[in-house]
Amino acid sequence: MLVGASLLAARLASAAERRVPVIETVRGPVPADQFGLALAHEHIMCDFAGAALTSRQRWEVDAVVRTMRPHLQQVVDRGVRGFVDCTPAGIGRDPRVLRALAEATGLHIVTNTGYYGAGGGKYVPEHARTDTVEQLAARWVAECEQGIEDTGILPGFIKIGVNGASGQPPTLSAMDAKLVEAAAIAAVRTGRSVTCHTGGAEAGLAAARLFIARGGAPARFVVAHADGHGAEAQRQVAELGAWVSFDAAGQRPAAAHAAAIAALLPRHADRVLLSGDAGWYWVGEPGGGQVRGYTAVTDVLLPALRAAGVAPTTIEQLTVRNPAAAFSLAV
Ligand SMILES: [Zn+2]
């Protein structure tokens, strides 16, 4: 451990000299240029019991680690170094599990603060319904400064989720808007980026615009699950300056998926993230249920992008430079 800690300290010192930004991982800050080949949106564990019922009593850390370690090792063996875990509080976020897996595999795993309003609000803790925007933001800022629960582990980003948008112009529900506004405040105060689960193209655009209107920097906002949003919405999100996250690798016909991504690249390669939204140890299912591994980006999507004519330097940008930029702390 001492060797690891002093190695990390030396890396950080040299990163500070080189003015490289850092990414806050479950094992502490890592220079962004060491995040490496990264998966921008995955899940190690989920508990869908709802915010009122989920608790640490519902899973055993060791059992989850034993089950998930081989799946993470598979992508480590393929060269993956960075792993953004998008499971929020209320759906089974457990930094103890993530830290144990980071230590076992060497992956740079990042966890989050924030709440998930999608799913009709089932995963939002009760206090969020009465909290003001400012109170919500303060809770998330406190986690970024003091750590999650009793773990001392700091979130590296903010994860929120919104349902669909309705009306004309498309508008988020009051609860969802509150989450986006609180995320904007917390992002500015903590230097963290925000990944937003979206219930459709209109909701993604509405959330991005609201985040920016409340003072969030466009490049600090990731519109997740943009795969199905269509070329026009993807282009609009990119032109706002936010991130377009194609995180359905392996879940769509590869050639068509790659073609849709490739269409955005000539003008917006610097706004695109890739991942598989895969996993997870399903709390409550025997043995964690049927886990979908994390290899779809390296084994399915990247070959399809290469076949679609995407250049190696662009692949490197999408999988290495972009995630490092999206999840580094703003200084
Ligand atoms: Zn997800």
The tens digit of pLDDT for each residue in 164-210 reads: 999 999 999 999 999 999 999 999 999 999 999 998 999 999 999 99
Tell me the CA–centroid distance for residue 2 and ligand 1, in Å.
35
Q: What is the pLDDT of residue 21?
A: 95
CA distances from 264 to 199, 239, 245, 294 (A): 21, 11, 12, 24
Would you tell me the crossing angle of helices 231-240 and 254-268 to the nearest 10 degrees? 30
pLDDT at 309: 98
Q: Ligand 1: distance of its center to the CA of 3 in Å?
A: 34
Q: Is the pLDDT of residue 295 over 50?
A: yes
Residue with tokens 């003091």: 146
Note the pTM of the prediction, 2 decimals.
Answer: 0.95
What's the Cα-to-Cα distance from 265 to each of 28, 235, 271, 305, 325, rounded to whole Å? 33, 10, 9, 11, 17
Gap from CA of 22 to ligand 1 centroid (Å): 23
Which class would CATH give 36-327?
alpha beta
> How many residues are present in the chain?
331
> Distance from the CA of 145 to the center of ligand 1, in angstroms?
25
Q: What is the pLDDT averaged over residues 54-59?
A: 97
How far is the C-alpha of 240 from the C-alpha of 247, rounded, in Å?
A: 19
How many whole angstroms separate alpha carbon 325 and alpha carbon 314?
15
Give residue 326 CA to ligand 1 midpoint distance, Å. 16
At 4, the pLDDT band (50, 70, 90 cuts) reads: low
What is the domain partition of the chain in residue ranges? Answer: 36-327
Q: How far is the CA of 18 from the centre of ligand 1 (A)?
A: 34
Q: How far is the CA of 85 from the centre of ligand 1 (A)?
A: 8
Distance 130 CA to ligand 1 centre (A): 26
97 exposure class (CB count in 10 Å sphere: 0-12, 13-18, 19+): buried
Q: What percent of the chain has pLDDT over 90?
A: 92
Alpha carbon of 200 to ligand 1 centroid (Å): 14
Burial 253-276 (b: 16+ CB within 10 A, else e): ebeebbebbbebbeebbbbbbbbb
Report d(CA 186, CA 201) in Å as an integer. 24
Of the pLDDT bands very low, low, confident and very high (cuts 50, 70, 90), residue 19 is confident
Strands 221-223 and 243-246: parallel
Percent of the chain with pLDDT over 70: 96
10 Å Cβ neighbour count for 72?
24
Average pLDDT over residues 53-74: 98
- Span from the CA of 79 to the centroid of ligand 1 (angstroms): 22
Residue 140, amino acid: W
Average pLDDT over residues 311-325: 98
The yes-or-no verdict on residue 237 having pLDDT over 50 is yes
Compute the half-sphere exposure of residue 323: CA atoms within 13 Å on the CB side of its CA. 31
Give the distance (Å) from ligand 1 centre to CA of residue 147.
22
- Separation of CA 40 and ligand 1 centre (Å): 10
Going from the Cα of 310 to the center of ligand 1, the distance in angstroms, rounded, reads: 26
Pick from 230, 228, 229, 211: nearest CA to 220: 211
Distance 43 CA to ligand 1 centre (A): 6
Q: Which residues line ion ligand 1, judged by CB < 5 Å? A: 86, 277
CA distance 94 to 186: 21
Q: Are 82 and 38 in contact (CB under 8 A)?
A: yes
State in Å: Cα 101 to ligand 1 middle.
19
pLDDT of residue 331: 74
Measure 279 CA to ligand 1 centroid, in angstroms: 9
Whole-number Å distance between alpha carbons of 124 and 116 = 6
Q: Please report the pLDDT score of residue 5 as a whole number.
A: 63
Torsion angles phi and psi, residue 159, rounded to 5: -115, 125
* Average of per-residue pLDDT across 75-94: 98
